A = this chain, B = another copy of it.
Amino acid sequence: MPADEFVVTPYEVRGKVDYDRLRELFGTQELSAELLARLRSLAGGELHPLLSRGIYYSHRDLAPLLEAHAAGAPFFVYSGRGPSGPLHLSHLAQFDLCRWFQERLHVPMYIQITDDEKFWSRAGLTREETLRWGLENLYDILALGFEPKRTHVFFDSRSIAALYPLAIRVARKITYSSVKAVFGLEPSANIGWIFYTALQTVPCFWPSWAEGKTVRCLIPCGIDQDPHFRLTRDIAEGLGYPKPALLHSRMIPGLLGEAAMSTTGSSEDSALFLNDPPKTVERKVRNAFTGGRASVEEQRRLGANPEICSIWALWRSRFADSDEQLARLTADCRSGALLCGDCKGQLLERIHAFYRTHAERREKAKEWAESAIVTEAPRPV
């Protein structure tokens, strides 16, 4: 692949991604300073770091959703996880942002655990594995601080009675041709995987269906997931529901310099998994790809390059306490004042602290996870 080419689909991220060009290719809108200012004002004067630091950079229809919210119309946030194994840090970004919306704008959160889809799309997984990882992943997600009373979980195989009546109506609107065009699923794909996009669409409309009134949907996700919801947006109005709004993030790079931290990457050392023990975390961070120079002397003299650094990406996405701290750290990196070893040491302290806190919160989340799983349809059709 030539150096300036890249591939971004829901099932693959490869090459050096040009995010502005990707936004143009996908036909999404820029997350402008003006729109961010509007959101900041609605959210009580602050923005989540994922927004203020430019990791979320693109959207569809966020402006009308915020206007409607300002005028008193309800919305909710929706995100999901295909449980194929442990979560890694970059999986958390979309849920971090959802949690922030819930806290700041007091909106309901719907989480979908797609244990059926993962079984259909990954030949090597057993049903027992997708069920088990579904629960494990759910605990990790809830541990980020979601409010039990405003958080609802669709665990596909267990929530199917709640989802199916609406899925029946959604599925009639989607053809195999569309699924092939959007996801590239060949005729040799199994019929579960082909059907699946109907189930992923259902949560976008479910609260409107359940409440019998319009409740808008906002989906924070990696921009690679945008195609999933293009089909949803195409059919929404035909079913009498508003198109879901989307907020798109850049991918968080892998520790070995890949375009995205991935569970299907060439090495499991490319990602920090939430179940990695401290020694493994330390090893992975110490071995991580940075923007540093060949020698200490050279780095002191020329500075390093945060743009390409997997460690800087972690500071940016989660571990810098403030935008100011991130700016200072970035300046010190560029000037050569901060060496990679020291930077990694400081980051490790924060990662270890996060893992410790997370483990405690996860135990608490286990106590209410079951009660958040939706199992009944609000109506028969």
**A contact set with B: CB distance below 8 Å:** 116, 119-120, 127-128, 131, 157-158, 160-161, 164-165, 167-169, 171-177, 179-180, 185, 187-192, 194-195, 197-198, 375, 380-381
Contact = CB atoms under 8 A, between A and B. Distances in A.
B190 A175 contact: yes
Contacts of A172: 119-120, 190, 192
A174 B157 contact: no
A194 B168 contact: no
Given A119-B172, A157-B164, A175-B190, 15 more contacts: A116-B164, A127-B168, A128-B381, A157-B381, A158-B380, A171-B190, A171-B192, A175-B191, A176-B187, A176-B194, A179-B191, A191-B197, A191-B198, A194-B194, A194-B195
B157 A168 contact: yes
A207 to B, nearest CB: 19
Given A157-B380, A381-B128, A191 B171 contact: yes
Report the 3 A-B pairs with minimum CB-CB distance, sorted nearest first: A171-B192, A195-B195, A161-B161
A187 B161 contact: no
A127 B120 CA distance: 27
Contact of A175 (B171, B188, B375): B188
17 contacts: A116-B164, A119-B169, A119-B172, A127-B165, A127-B168, A127-B169, A131-B381, A157-B165, A161-B161, A171-B191, A174-B191, A175-B189, A176-B176, A180-B187, A191-B197, A192-B195, A195-B195
A197 B192 CA distance: 10
A177 B171 contact: no
A21 to B, nearest CB: 31
B176 A192 contact: no
Contacts of A189: 175-176
A209 to B, nearest CB: 12
A171 B164 CA distance: 16
A187 B181 CA distance: 11
Contact of A116 (B120, B168, B179): B168
A250 to B, nearest CB: 31
Nearest to A173: B190
Contacts of A198: 191-192
A84 to B, nearest CB: 14
A120 B171 contact: yes
Contacts of A173: 190
Contacts of A176: 176, 185, 187-191, 194
Contacts of A160: 160-161, 164
A174 B193 CA distance: 10
A167 B128 CA distance: 15
A164 B191 CA distance: 14
Contacts of A179: 191
Contacts of A197: 191
Contacts of A177: 187-188
Contacts of A164: 116, 157, 160, 164
A17 B342 CA distance: 83
A367 to B, nearest CB: 21
A195 B171 contact: yes
A158 B175 CA distance: 24
B119 A168 contact: yes
B380 A131 contact: yes
A198 B175 CA distance: 17
A176 B168 CA distance: 18
